[in-house]
Amino acid sequence: MAEPKKKKGNKPSASKPARENDLFAGDDVADELDSEEVVETNGDAPSLTTHPHASGPLGRMMDDNFLQYASYVICERAIPSLVDGFKPVQRRIMHALFEKDDGRFIKVANVVGHTMQYHPHGDASIGDALVTLTNKGYLIEGQGNFGNIFTGNAAAAPRYIECRLTELARREVFNKDLTEFIPSYDGRNKEPVVLPTKLPLLLMLGAEGIAVGLSTRILPHNFVELIEAQICIMQKKPFEVFPDFPQGGLMDTRGMVDGNGSARVRACIDTKRAGALVINELPAATTTESLITGIEEAIRKHNLPIKSISDFTAETVEIELTLNAGADPAATVKALYAYTGCETTVSSHIVVIHKGHPVEMTVPDILRENTRQLEETLQLELMHRRDQLGEEINAKTLVEIFVEERIYKRIEECKTAEAVRQAVLEGFEPFKKRLRRPITDEDVEMLLGIRIRRISRFDLEKNHRDIEKLLEELATVEKNLASLRRYVISYLRGLLKTYGKDYPRHTKITSFDQVKIKELAAGEFDIAYDRESGYLGYQTEGEALLACSRYDKLLLVWSDGRYKVIKPPEKLFVDKDMIYCAVADRDHVFTMAYKHDLFVFLKRFTFGGSITDRDYRCAADPATVLLFEEGTPKDIFVKYKPSKRQRIHQQHFNPEDVAVKGVKAMGNHMTGKAISKIATTQPRWWKEDEASPRGRFS
């Protein structure tokens, strides 16, 4: 097969050579970038038209830059890390607070300024993230106006408020010896890659973020329940945890599977106060302001029997709804759940950064990984402490030998530094077995730095006691390393004992049936029909037809075979020949007899789906509907008009002989005679003594 030929495009002139990476080359290069190349095959039509800039230097540059930008937004801004649960800005705030921590409150403006050494995106994002972390209640303690999660009020300016690390954060989140540092964005400082936290912060804090091509939403969970679940993981027992929101409320989690999915949350509404309802807990992602706005709108649209709304919210939620006289509190509560933000749905879709990549995970997966990290961190801490204790014991032993054996006397006659060093090493030679490792130059420098006052006042007994305490602690560390699983469980139980009482569950887990708005609004409108004027609607005076809600749709049928589905109207002209009006049900079976041309047809059918306010036909045009009824009558009685040589004057039919079909079906042929009267129950005009054979359909 011959190779495809390419049509030549405009080439750059010899006087203006195109440079591969020159974005500002001459017009000839621009023409080449804008030209198209058509690939031809053996006489076939041109295959694919390609644009060179899709694979040229500019295209490659755009692709590379976009990928770098997308990767940066995903990993460095929007999506939290699985290891410590922080987004980069949160981690930098915590690191800055730890560097400045002295136990006292610090101006938030100072913390923001210090964090800007590590975070390149300005003070606004840092301040907002710090306020959000503070309002979570676990890691940062605030003093001053940090806003109100119940009312939605914003925090005061950073110069007016103060913060500091909580005791939980100070003890359980940081460890300089186990932290890996990298240069900050400008290379002037060092910032942590991740913090060696021993808490499941990702699920404690929750997170939301939108990146390039993906988003995450992790709901917050209760501290105590997460720690208990980690204990179950260490003991290889089953566990289950559910979200917990600081606003409180009620939650139905039947729509969630392993932490992903959706949960329905409700406000707590107290009905005990006479003549009023009191909302004292909010659903998640709701504020008193948005809730009151929704209630006011529902009062206007749905006539909720609420006279007035009073908001007494401060440190706790208290919204009082005064009811109209005679209003039913239980029915009003249902209406509030149906029409307002008193019931909402919150969804969870967990995406985290794990090993440098965004991955989807479940809550059990996250907890197991956090527990594995906790076990690894505690093991590293124990190993580091073991090494520290060994060094302390060795140092105290060195000092003891150096003083008690008067090795310092050997250096009095030495004239060079090397001679001093050699004298110390020779002095320790007989005591090597008492040391935990060989003597280093650092040890010699430490010994030579001992002051004469310390030598003269050296207390051998106290030194022995100190070494004994260090040995006891070392034995404990070795024991914990040998039974690491037991140590991790003991550590988790210690967390519960120390901090558990400070973090009770706020959201109550329960199950509740969804309020069906149609059932709640049933009977909202009374539809009437004025046959003389031809008007239909709930603002029309006339014959009462039915009660319905604003969520229903009405089916209208006319005597000429037309039908239409409409929303409940206030007042609509439907003419005087309407024969049927009811709430539309696409699967309901109807029976209809109609005349078309010279013949009468009978059909049983369902209307199926239809578009609102569009005209349809249930009988071929032209048609005259003789009978239209819901369901299937047992019999149909027919009386024919008198005609010459007519032997049968009345007849009955069984409509069950006709199959149920769609609305567009013609139906079965019933008769060619002219019908005078038709009924579905035996009428007075029916003559028992007259021959009335059973009719047959064709």
Q: Within 13 A of 386's CA, how many CA atoms are on the CB side?
A: 14
Q: Is 605 in contact with 661 (CB distance < 8 Å)? A: yes
Phi (first) and psi of residue 347, to 5 degrees: -115, 160
With both helix axes pointing from N to C terminus, report the angle between 108-115 and 123-136 in degrees, rounded to the nearest 10: 120
8 A C-beta contact, residue 343 and residue 266? yes
Q: Any idea which residue has 């019931």 for tokens?
A: 343
316 three-state secondary structure: coil
Q: What are the distances in angstroms from CA 90 to CA 29, 187, 357?
A: 47, 20, 19
Residue 233: in which H helix or E strand, if any?
Answer: helix 223-234
- Phi (first) and psi of residue 561, to 5 degrees: 95, 5
Nearest to 584 by CA among 613, 560, 621: 613
Q: How far apart are CA 599 and CA 247, in angstroms?
A: 71
Report the length, in residues, of the chain: 698
Dist CA 227 CA 500 (whole Å): 9
Within 10 angstroms of residue 584's Cβ, the number of other Cβ atoms is 19
- Helix or strand (DSSP H, E) at 49: strand 49-50
CB neighbours of residue 292 within 10 Å = 19
Dihedral sign (CA 618, 619, 620, 622)? negative
d(CA 638, CA 192): 92
User: Of the listed 69, 72, 160, 185, which one is catalytic?
Assistant: 160
What are the backbone angles phi and psi of residue 514, rounded to the nearest 5°?
Answer: -70, 135
User: Is the Cβ–Cβ distance between 604 and 632 less than 8 Å?
Assistant: yes
Q: Which of 433, 449, 470, 440 shows the shortest CA–CA distance to 399?
A: 449
Catalytic residue check, 69: no
**What positions carry a catalytic annotation?**
160
